[in-house]
Structure 1
Amino acid sequence: MTTTIDDPRLATDATDAVDGGVAARRRTAGLALLALATGAFAIGTTEFVSMGLLPQLAAGVGVDIPTAGHVISAYAVGVVVGAPVLAVLGARLPRRGLLLSLMGVILVGNLLTALAPGYGTLMGARFVAGLPHGAFFGVAALVAADLVSPKRRAQAVSLVMTGLTVATLLGVPAATWLGQGLGWRAAYGLVVGLVLLTLVMLALFVPRLPADRGASGRTELRALKEPQVLLTALAGAIGFGGMFSIYTYIAPTVTEVAGQGEGFVPFYLLAFGLGSVSGTLVGGRLADWSILRSTVLGAAAMGVLLATYAVTSQWLVAGMLTVFLISVSGGVFTIGLQMRLIQVAGRARTLGAALNHSALNAANALGAWLGGVVVAAGLGYPATAWLGVGLSVLGLVVLGISVALQRRTSLAAAAA
């Protein structure tokens, strides 16, 4: 007898084959996302560990602490410069090969940091270590989005970004503890180990993915002429500055405004880290619902909560809870920005995705600098929160201009 498609055995086998294929794809995507998140964890650790080891760094290379603080700026400058440059140069490379190359540069930068004989070499090493930061996250976001269904793309990107936020909870404290006990070079040695682990995981678990069809450096550069890309990045650079205006001065706010001992500062930082992780995961789900609405919601909530912190910073529990919620809203905002930049960049997705991290590092510098101006003017540490409110509102204004321009362009195209 000829077996037909109505044969129950054939139907069962076909169903099992389909289910097995779906399960295999999910396992592949899961391992790839884990590899990308591990890379994000390594980058987050190297980005923030210098802040906790400034006294050791200063003593190790024979400079004072304020001068040693410039190594943090050197890393940030590397991120801002490297994100667009490396995204353009690597636009035509296969995704996995580009990720391995970028992580290789991070390896070199951290090796040079750990072996730096003096201040000048250390500054150069931190600049090199920062160069691939934005491009790695940008390419990792594209890979994560391409590995899953369209309805889960933002969630996949948020899972990768969670590696960065978890670094503030686990990687940075561990590296700081190691650096304080065995010397600051040991902290960057730990980062080197994390980078090596990432290289192995990327090679094993990330599938071969080609560059976008028609991608080229020239195509990527065109994104810098797109008003939507520039306005969205500007909204992030200004709007997220409010977060850093309070985060930079959180320690003196705890001790001088809330009247608590230095021992409570780590609990505030823990609350901030937990909020970042939560906000990043929530932001992924909200962005899959609506990229624009989640971005606006995150920015607006951050502004309201910063205003709240200007009042609650004088109390221990209320201040800590507000810091947690501010960080949650910041996570929602950054994931929305990441997905919107990918969306409005069109064919220049690599540069669009990488620009998010240039914008966030610019926000870091802007918020910290303006916060310092406010404090130096004698307005007090709670005034940094009011500064943050102003920056959040300005970011929303820029985002509103972006949306209005986009709608006007769409209406003009429909009428043509």
Structure 2
Amino acid sequence: MQRSSPAIAALCVSVFVVGTAEFLVAGLLPQIGSDLGVSVAVAGQAVTAYAIGTVIAGPLVAMLTVRLPRKGLMLTLMAVFAAGNAVSALAPGFPTLLAGRVLASTGHATLFALTLIVATTVAGPDRAGTAIAAVTSGLTVANLLGVPLGAALGQDLDWRFPFAVLTALALLCLALMAVTLPRVAAPPTSVAAEVAVLATRPVLMCVATTAVGFAGVGAVFTYVAPMLTQVSGFSPAAVSWLLLAYGVGSLLGNLVAGRLADRSAGATLRGVFACLTVLLALLPPAVLHRPAAAVAVLGLGLLATATVAPLQTLILRRAGAAPTLAVTVNVAAFMLAHAVGSVIGAGVVSTAGLRWTGLAGAALSLAGLLLSYLAVPRRSPRPPTTNSASPPTTSSTSPPTTSSTSPSATVRMLHDRRR
């Protein structure tokens, strides 16, 4: 993957910048509210506006741009993202800030999806999981460093400054992608084909696995800081270090899962969900003891993002020659899962207390595990790795391969074009 390293690095940095924008506002709510004359609760709607914009606009943008060349589309979406952050930085009032957030979010899911598709194209079909993990590590680093640093800058200087920095970084990413990314023609597909692929049972099951299984992480992680202070008895400073360990664990878990997904995405996914279910089920007794709680937080970090690479790899393999809409919807499903998990966790906290969010998370992760068996039969064969230039063969028992039945057709076709 040496020749593809500059492109992969540019995509990783782009995901870092876009991922930082997603949660940046959460650390700036008091400053935004004070400056724009709204309450903290109202200021929090800037987070909601970005999430809603991503979930709704993502599939629409993916369908409207399905026949456009991939590189040009990515550069355009990054430019729109930069413009949205510039509007947010210069917003004279809260409605304008909301408009900037929505504008920045419109291309989020599609841009994220295209980074994964292009990454697997330049890396080759046999390194799809590794390429996806490398790119999505940018999102992990955003949560680990980008969001806290942005919040610190906003608190020390002005809440507008982080948005200005994001604008500059987005323009830098645009330049990096323009230089490093290969020209990738639009796939020979249509809106009808993209919708048809999304509606197939394997793809729908993968999306459902994402939406349900990842919600288990959201149900717990949203309330992990107060749980560690109020139940486990850690100091706020100690919790900060534990969250740092969680972030480092997430980065490592994502990279390891990517390599394992190259061997067997289905087995990797089931293994992660099984371990996650057990860990979350043991969380209520573990948080009563500080050493056990620390180990549980590190374990949660290792497993939380380890579902991303195998799930996205499976989506790409099952989407055939029309992957953009399916991958975009799956990206939106991750965001939806986090939001739904947070709501479920809030219900558990209000009725039973912080200690018991792990049980809700375990139930959701177990549901994700069961859905993964429907998405990927246990003995599902790994996609062939023969040279795609070889002539196809048919027989009376083996029907010709089509775009809907060739799991890695898109990645191979685009990779061969680049070659």
TM-score by length of 1: 0.88
Cα RMSD of the aligned pairs, angstroms, is 2.0
The structural deviation recorded for 1:373 is: 1.0
Contact 1:228 1:406 in 2 (8 A): no
Conservation of the 8 A alpha-carbon contact between 1:79 and 1:357: no
Q: Which residue of 2 aligns with 1:131?
A: 106
Q: How far did 1:191 drift?
A: 1.0
In 1: Cα distance, 2:225 partner to 2:306 partner? 24
Range with greater deviation from structure 2 (198-207 or 307-316): 307-316
Deviation per residue, 1:62-84 (Å, 9 max, x gap)? 22222222221111111211221
- 2:124 aligns to what? 149
Aligned counterpart, 1:26? 2
2:388 aligns with: none
Q: In 2, Cα distance between the equivalents of 1:127 and 1:317?
A: 42
Shift of 1:320: 2.6
Number of the residue aligned with 1:21: none
Amino acid at match of 1:114: A
Residue 388 (1) aligns with residue 364 (2): no
Are the counterparts in 2 of residues 241 and 391 from structure 1 also a CA contact under 8 Å? yes
Match of 2:262 among 283, 288, 292: 288
Structure 1 Cα separation of the partners of residues 158 and 379 of structure 2: 52
Aligned residues: 384
Tell me the secondary structure at the aligned position of residue 193 of structure 1.
Answer: helix
> What is the CA-CA distance between 1:26 and the residue it aligns to?
2.8
SS across alignment from 2:354: coil
SS in 2 for 1:86: helix
From 335, 345, 352, the counterpart of 1:371: 345
* Aligned equivalent of 2:83: 108
Residues 5-25 of structure 1: CA distance to partner in whole angstroms, max 9, x if unpaired?
Answer: xxxxxxxxxxxxxxxxxxxx8
Cα distance between partner residues in 2 of 1:277 and 1:344: 26
Q: What is the alpha-carbon distance in structure 1 between the residues aligned to residue 201 and residue 99 of structure 2?
A: 34
Does 2:377 correspond to 1:401?
no
| Matches of 2:308 and 2:55, distance apart in 1 | 16
| 1:31 shift after superposition | 0.7
Q: CA distance change for structure 1 residues 43 and 316 in 2, over 3 Å: closer, same or farther? A: farther
- Aligned equivalents of 2:94, 2:197: Cα separation in 1: 37
Q: Please state if 1:221 is matched with 2:200.
A: no
Residue 265 to residue 405, structure 1, CA distance change in 2 (3 Å): closer
Q: Distance in 2 between matches of 1:363 and 1:172?
A: 20
> Match for residue 204 of structure 1?
179
Cα shift at 1:339: 0.7
Who is 1:50 aligned against?
25
Equivalent pair of 2:267/2:378 in contact (CA under 8 Å) = no
| Larger Rg computed on CA atoms | 1
% identical aligned pairs: 37
- The amino acid across from 2:156 in the alignment is G
CA distance in 2, matches of 1:256, 1:394: 29
Q: 1:54 to 1:290 in 2, by over 3 A?
A: same
Deviations 1:129-185 (A, max 9, x none): 222121111111111111123221210111111111111222222211111111111
Report the TM-score when normalising by structure 2.
Answer: 0.87
| Displacement over 6 Å in runs of 4+ | 413-416
Q: Which moved more, 1:224-233 or 1:382-391?
A: 224-233
In the alignment, what sits opposite 2:69? Answer: 94
Cα distance in 2 for residues equivalent to 1:345 and 1:393: 25
2:190 maps to amino acid: S
Hey, what's the Cα distance between the residues in 1 that align with 2:397 and 2:227?
53
Q: 2:413 is matched with which residue?
A: none
Which 5+ residue runs of structure 1 have no aligned equivalent? 1-24, 408-412
Given residue 305 of structure 1, which amino acid in structure 2 is its aligned partner? L
Going by fraction, where is helix more abundant, 1 or 2?
1
Moved more, 259-268 or 41-50: 259-268
Distance change (3 Å), C-alpha of 1:220 and 1:406: farther
Alpha-carbon shift at residue 405 of structure 1 (Å): 11
The corresponding residue for 2:143 is 168
- Give the counterpart letter for 1:242 in structure 2: G
Tell me the CA shift for residue 302 of structure 1.
1.2
Structure 2 CA distance for aligned equivalents of residues 190 and 216 of structure 1:
37
- Structure 2 counterpart of 1:64, from 26, 39, 49: 39
Q: Which amino acid aligns with 2:356?
A: A
Q: Aligned to 1:215, what secondary structure does the other structure show?
A: coil
TM superposition shift of 1:414? 6.8
Question: SS where residue 136 of structure 2 aligns?
Answer: helix
